[in-house]
Copies of this chain bind each other. A is one copy, B any other.
Amino acid sequence: MSPIIFHPFEKEIEPDGDLDLLRLARKAGIPLEAPCGGKRICGKCRVIVESSDGPLPPPSEREAEVLGGLIKKGYRLACETVLTRGASVVVPEESRTGRQVILTSDTRHPYPVRLRPHVSPCFVEVPEPSIDAVLADRERFLMALEKAYGIRSPEIDLFLLRQLPQALRSGPKGVTAAIYDGEEIIGLWPGREERLYGVAFDVGTTTVVAFLMDMATGEKLAVTHAMNPQIAMGDDVVTRISFCGEDPGGLEKLRREIVSCLNNLIAEATDQAGIDPRRIMEATVVGNTAMHHFLAGLDPGYLALAPYPPVLQEGQTCKARDLGLRIGASAYVHLLPIKAGFVGSDTVACILATGLHKRKTPALLIDLGTNGEIVFGNRDRMLCCSTAAGPAFEGGHIRWGMRASPGAIERIRIDPDTLDVLWETIDREKPLGLCGSGIISAAAEMIRSGIILSRGNMNDALRTPRLREGEDGWEFVLAWGSETATGQDIVLTQKDVAELQMAKSAVYAGASVLIEQYGDVPFSQILLAGACGNYVDPRDACAIDLFPGCLTAKVVGVGNAAGHGACLALLDRNKSKEAERIARKAEYVELAAAGRFQELFVSSMWFTKAWDFEDDF
């Protein structure tokens, strides 16, 4: 019996009882699209039966309905078609899937991703030069590549050309080329080597994260992070921009700091994974606009001057060597597109990762970083803004604030009767301080137990040794020195609460402006992004009035959505294009121009869920 051949994969498989073409294709490992999983719902598994050894079964009613006139051209739904004899079946481009994998991650939300990287490995054997017709190394190599893969005249840059003579002559017969979009060769290794690597960066004002990815499997091989070393030149974006304005070499200093930080993260990650960093063939970077400009060496001065124009908005691709990254010298780095002076590629990547731009029902997306970027909308329209929330959510400007690392208190429980405190720390280590979620949790519990009052002041009527006067006014002891890693009491001060109030009311007011401008539609989800956002207990967030809509919408932590968006764009080149569309489509709302924001900012300062002792004032 002759087999069924799937083109253009040229895979053969024998007909198998009443298995339909979709199931046969699965068995043969053919990447045939079927989002419904073969449940005969989606109508996406279209194939073309070119020829068949016997008569074809007539199209089903559903096929007739879904395919219409295409049936005349040989189109069938694979899930509806059972062939019992040999046939020649074409899987058209639109029905082919990239391979789907799940991004493993430190978040609770898995991100499905198709593996469609720009770069793919191609192994070729290159003949030696012959005296009769001496062809250069490059020309023999390209000829072999065209013969084996049909790739015509790809470019090779000077840096890679320098490796070519050696690669062609090192021991094993043949060489593996990393081909970028079928148009350029950007990597070369002697012998057969299928694995390529990529790295995605999330460059935050405070923390920087690198994700080392296996581009062949989508596996996350290592995640490394570091404080942004630019902190030495200013805690926040505005201070660093001023630094550039004051010091003629300021921008170059900031650029070198972050490049060296990224290179350290690469070295650490590749070390963990045991791979050569020069084997990294692609990188993506997301970050807020200022971080983006610092890294690219672009003058950030105008970001601080109304109307705050960035130097560029669209994505920018450059050679790794031009950016100073120590990965493959000829590899490309994609700086993802940014929206505005204060809505960067990190926000675009958050939208990409959460799929907000494809949703039917509007959702509120909040990235709780040093700047609180907020997006509200759905597939029809998206509004975005940035609020200067300050570093409180990342532990900054908080007496015992720290980043979310082992020993950070991430959750607090206060017994409302005894005011005794229970805490949970990351990795169950002895408390070192409070990370963002710990700060919010502490404030929420202190509100619930009446320690913090509606205006944010502490209830000094309470009699407990935990409430005491300190350097910054009243403070509440969350952990006694006898319990902590440092031997010192960990407290939340009146000043800390004031910082938190500024931060939360900025976010609240910003989100409210967007929702109002959109038209006050109901929404069912609040997506909390950012390393902090992911670990915030939704009830705690609601207790401190972090955002509007708490009563009606479900709060979902989406982890480091920006970082995940960067990973998605790395593994799937279509996602890069999607990011461009998101950046163009989102509408930026300038809060400074919205009088309504000031109004809401002031009125959102209070804690509405706290006890109100009006007589205190």
A contact residues vs B (CB 8 Å cutoff): 129-131, 134-140, 157-159, 161-162, 164-166, 296-299, 301-302, 306-314, 316, 318, 322-323, 338, 340-341, 588, 590, 593
Residues of B within 8 A of A131 (CB): 306-307, 590, 593
Report the minimum CB–CB distance from A161 to chain B (whole Å). 6
Report the minimum CB–CB distance from A381 to chain B (whole Å). 15
On whether A310 and B136 interact (CB within 8 A), knowing A131-B593, A299-B166, the answer reads yes
Between-chain CB contacts (< 8 Å), 5 pairs: A129-B307, A131-B593, A158-B297, A161-B296, A162-B296
Residues of B within 8 A of A588 (CB): 134
Known pairs A134-B340, A158-B296, A165-B301; list 10 more (Cβ under 8 Å): A129-B309, A130-B307, A136-B312, A136-B313, A139-B313, A140-B309, A158-B316, A161-B296, A162-B298, A166-B299
Residue of chain B at shortest CB distance from A337: B136
A135 to B130 Cα, complex, angstroms: 57
Are A164 and B311 in contact, with the CB atoms below 8 A? yes
Residues of B within 8 A of A310 (CB): 136-137
Residues of B within 8 A of A302 (CB): 137, 165
A318 to B131 Cα, complex, angstroms: 30
A322 to B136 Cα, complex, angstroms: 22
Report the minimum CB–CB distance from A203 to chain B (whole Å). 16
Contact residue among B138, B297, B311, B318 (Cβ-Cβ distance under 8 Å from A311): B138
On whether A307 and B136 interact (CB within 8 A), knowing A158-B316, A318-B157, the answer reads no
Contact residue among B130, B135, B137, B297 (Cβ-Cβ distance under 8 Å from A162): B297
A318 to B140 Cα, complex, angstroms: 21
Are A309 and B158 in contact, with the CB atoms below 8 A? no
A161 to B322 Cα, complex, angstroms: 13
Residue of chain B at shortest CB distance from A340: B134
Contact residue among B157, B312, B323 (Cβ-Cβ distance under 8 Å from A161): B312
Residue of chain B at shortest CB distance from A133: B588
Residues of B within 8 A of A162 (CB): 296-299
A297 to B314 Cα, complex, angstroms: 34
Are A322 and B157 in contact, with the CB atoms below 8 A? yes
On whether A137 and B297 interact (CB within 8 A), knowing A157-B318, A306-B131, the answer reads no
Closest 10 pairs between A and B when the two form their complex, measured CB to CB: A138-B312, A129-B309, A131-B307, A136-B313, A136-B310, A165-B299, A134-B307, A158-B318, A136-B312, A137-B311
- Most B C-beta atoms less than 10 A away, residue of A131, A165, A302: A165
Are A165 and B593 in contact, with the CB atoms below 8 A? no
Residues of B within 8 A of A296 (CB): 158, 161-162
Contact residue among B130, B134, B311 (Cβ-Cβ distance under 8 Å from A341): B134
Report the minimum CB–CB distance from A167 to chain B (whole Å). 11
A306 to B131 Cα, complex, angstroms: 7
Residues of B within 8 A of A135 (CB): 309, 313
Residue of chain B at shortest CB distance from A321: B322
On whether A137 and B316 interact (CB within 8 A), knowing A158-B323, A296-B161, the answer reads no
On whether A139 and B314 interact (CB within 8 A), knowing A296-B161, A323-B158, A590-B131, the answer reads yes
A307 to B159 Cα, complex, angstroms: 24
Contact residue among B134, B157, B161, B340 (Cβ-Cβ distance under 8 Å from A308): B134
A139 to B138 Cα, complex, angstroms: 38
Residues of B within 8 A of A159 (CB): 322
Residue of chain B at shortest CB distance from A255: B162
- Most B C-beta atoms less than 10 A away, residue of A137, A301, A312: A312
Report the minimum CB–CB distance from A256 to chain B (whole Å). 14
Are B340 and A309 in contact, with the CB atoms below 8 A? no
On whether A309 and B136 interact (CB within 8 A), knowing A131-B590, A165-B298, A299-B162, the answer reads yes
Report the minimum CB–CB distance from A218 to chain B (whole Å). 29
Report the minimum CB–CB distance from A585 to chain B (whole Å). 14
A79 to B322 Cα, complex, angstroms: 53
Report the minimum CB–CB distance from A584 to chain B (whole Å). 10
Residues of B within 8 A of A340 (CB): 134
Are A309 and B166 in contact, with the CB atoms below 8 A? no
Residue of chain B at shortest CB distance from A300: B165
